[in-house]
């Protein structure tokens, strides 16, 4: 394929651009900071600092995943969930098995599953229903995901079987002088209990106490520890732990809603059933719409399901985190001449602490988005400062100077605050930029002072002033 990438890496290597940041504020103390700024049209690098330093990208890594998806699949590609059968079908009765071929569609809901089964026209199944997950293999969570995040929905299992985001919402009532009480909607096939103390902030800190969750199969959650008092319930969002049990319960619900009688059981399967006749199918929204959720709302489940799908498509085998990350590398190299070199990819969302990339890698992706017609549509899906997505309320971009001027992907995990995207300057120029801040931490006393309104988070201040300098064109300081 023709490459639209103009040779950014060579530009850096040969010309050694290394301008200092054109602001008076220094990067946060003791942190690792990198940035690179280029003309979005020509790709000419105007300023860079530590652009070849390997840092954690956090959710800016979703730029790599969505670009690979755009180049390999295109904006109109869709997930296709199918219902197949094996046996004798007469009118509305089947003597044999029904197989639901789940393919990792992150948008699939229980109501859509119900509608899909209804379209088969079957009223009686003298056999089993198989929940097939052959599309993916290996772990359903990425290497390097934090173990104590696995109970929450932004780490929901990225399985081939995804229904209602593999996530359950609940509530924790924690009113003063009352025992805490946890609930989930009655229709959800999970159980939850709580033994939680309701304590004020001072007492919580004295006891080093926080809210914790214990998880046991099949999808049982027990809350312990403590939480602060609140008139309104605390929202809870639990990631499903036992996908097979979850799928069984929701499929049983869908069968019942449709009045379909099942004589056998509902069983998990991992088989190739391409020769089984198709009864009905369901298409997801197109990749362009799914990618909006990845980029604008920074949806981890959507990003990692796309990654595993790319592995399946590229290598013609069951998708995994391992072959998915290699597929991204291959696609970017082959389709856009982007060599990720020593970068290490562990997932597609940026959630893993094992991910490390260079600022120059992310800039190469941004320039491809602007220059390759196959990827131009991704530009319109990025959040805009003060207006949409994860930049709508980001405090560093709320000033009058920056509102509406930054179109970028955010990336935030513990001790990391990143941005990668585009800046519209006051003179009407568009710049591509990457700003990575890793190793961010301040002292407990400094944190107390900020909480009391004394000062500002150093990373936030640096990000704002760096961006404002680029918008205003204040770039006179160089090494």
- Catalytic, 298? Answer yes
Q: How is 182-220 classified by DSSP, letter by letter? A: EE--TTSS-EEEEEEEE--HHHHHHHT--EEEEEETTTE
> By three-state DSSP, how is residue 340 classified?
coil
Q: Exactly one of 47, 59, 284, 396 is catalytic; name it.
A: 59
- Residue 107, both tokens: 């948008």
Report the phi/psi class of residue 266: left, alpha or beta, with left for phi > 0 and alpha for psi in -120 to 50.
beta
Cα distance between residue 361 and residue 364, in whole Å:
5
Residue-by-residue pLDDT tens, the chain, 479 positions? 444 444 444 444 333 444 444 555 789 999 999 999 999 999 999 999 999 999 999 999 999 999 999 999 999 999 999 999 999 999 999 999 999 999 999 999 999 999 999 999 999 999 999 999 999 999 999 999 999 899 999 999 999 999 999 999 999 999 988 889 999 999 999 999 999 999 999 999 999 999 999 999 999 999 999 999 999 999 999 999 999 999 999 999 999 999 999 999 999 999 999 999 999 999 999 999 999 999 999 999 999 999 999 999 999 999 999 999 999 999 999 999 999 999 999 999 999 999 999 999 999 999 999 999 999 999 999 999 999 999 999 999 999 999 999 999 999 999 999 999 999 999 999 999 999 999 999 999 999 999 899 999 999 999 999 999 999 986 543 33
- Catalytic, 59? Answer yes
Q: Exactly one of 62, 405, 409, 431 is catalytic; name it.
A: 62
- In terms of Cα–Cα distance, which of 103, 475, 92 is closest to 310? 103
- Residue 45, both tokens: 């690098």
Cα distance between residue 4 and residue 71, in whole Å:
12
Strands 32-39, 45-49: pairing is antiparallel
The number of residues in the chain equals 479
Burial (CB count within 10 angstroms: exposed 0-12, middle 13-18, buried 19+), residue 347: buried
Cα distance between residue 34 and residue 424, in whole Å:
20
Q: Exactly one of 298, 320, 349, 385 is catalytic; name it.
A: 298
pLDDT at 21: 45
Cα distance between residue 255 and residue 125, in whole Å:
10
């Amino acid at each position: 394929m023709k490459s639209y990438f103009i040779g950014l890496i060579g530009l850096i290597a040969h010309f050694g651009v290394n301008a200092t940041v054109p602001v008076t504020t220094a990067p946060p103390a003791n942190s690792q900071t990198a940035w690179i700024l280029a003309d979005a049209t020509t790709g000419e690098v105007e300023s860079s600092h530590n652009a070849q330093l390997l840092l954690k990208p956090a959710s800016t890594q979703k730029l790599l995943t969505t670009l690979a998806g755009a180049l390999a699949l295109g904006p109109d590609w869709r997930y296709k969930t199918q219902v197949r059968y094996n046996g004798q079908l007469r009118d509305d009765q089947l003597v044999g098995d029904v197989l639901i071929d789940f393919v990792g569609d992150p948008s699939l809901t229980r109501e859509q599953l119900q509608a899909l089964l209804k379209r088969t026209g079957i009223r009686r199944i003298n056999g089993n229903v198989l929940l097939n997950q052959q599309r993916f293999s290996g772990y359903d969570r990425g290497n390097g995901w934090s173990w104590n995040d696995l109970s929450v929905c932004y780490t929901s299992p990225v399985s081939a079987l995804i229904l209602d985001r593999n996530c359950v919402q609940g509530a924790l009532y924690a009113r003063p002088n009352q025992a805490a009480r946890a609930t989930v909607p009655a229709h959800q096939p999970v159980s939850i209990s709580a033994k939680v103390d309701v304590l004020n902030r001072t007492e919580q800190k004295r006891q080093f106490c926080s809210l914790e969750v214990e998880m046991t199969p099949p999808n049982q959650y027990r809350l312990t520890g403590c939480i602060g008092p609140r008139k309104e319930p605390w929202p809870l969002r639990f990631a499903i732990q036992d996908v097979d049990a979850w799928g069984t319960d929701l499929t049983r619900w869908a069968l019942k809603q449709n009045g379909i009688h099942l004589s056998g059981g509902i069983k998990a399967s991992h088989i190739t059933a391409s020769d089984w006749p198709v009864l009905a199918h369901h298409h997801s929204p197109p990749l362009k719409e799914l990618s909006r959720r990845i980029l604008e709302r920074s949806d981890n489940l959507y990003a990692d399901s796309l990654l595993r799908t790319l592995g399946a498509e590229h290598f013609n085998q069951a998708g995994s985190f391992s072959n998915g990350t290699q597929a991204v590398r291959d696609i970017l190299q082959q389709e856009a001449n982007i060599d990720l070199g020593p970068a290490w990819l562990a997932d597609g969302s940026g959630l893993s602490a094992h991910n490390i990339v260079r600022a120059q890698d992310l800039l190469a992706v941004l320039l491809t988005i602007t220059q390759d017609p196959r990827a131009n549509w991704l530009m319109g899906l990025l959040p805009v400062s003060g207006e949409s997505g994860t930049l709508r309320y980001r405090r560093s971009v709320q000033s009058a100077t920056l509102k509406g001027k930054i179109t970028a992907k955010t990336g935030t995990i513990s001790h990391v605050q990143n941005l990668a995207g585009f800046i519209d300057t006051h003179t009407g120029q568009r710049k591509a930029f990457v700003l990575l801040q890793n190793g961010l931490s301040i002292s407990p006393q400094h944190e107390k002072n900020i909480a009391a309104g004394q000062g500002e988070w150093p990373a936030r201040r640096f990000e704002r002033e760096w961006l404002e300098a680029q918008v205003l064109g204040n770039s006179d300081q160089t090494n």
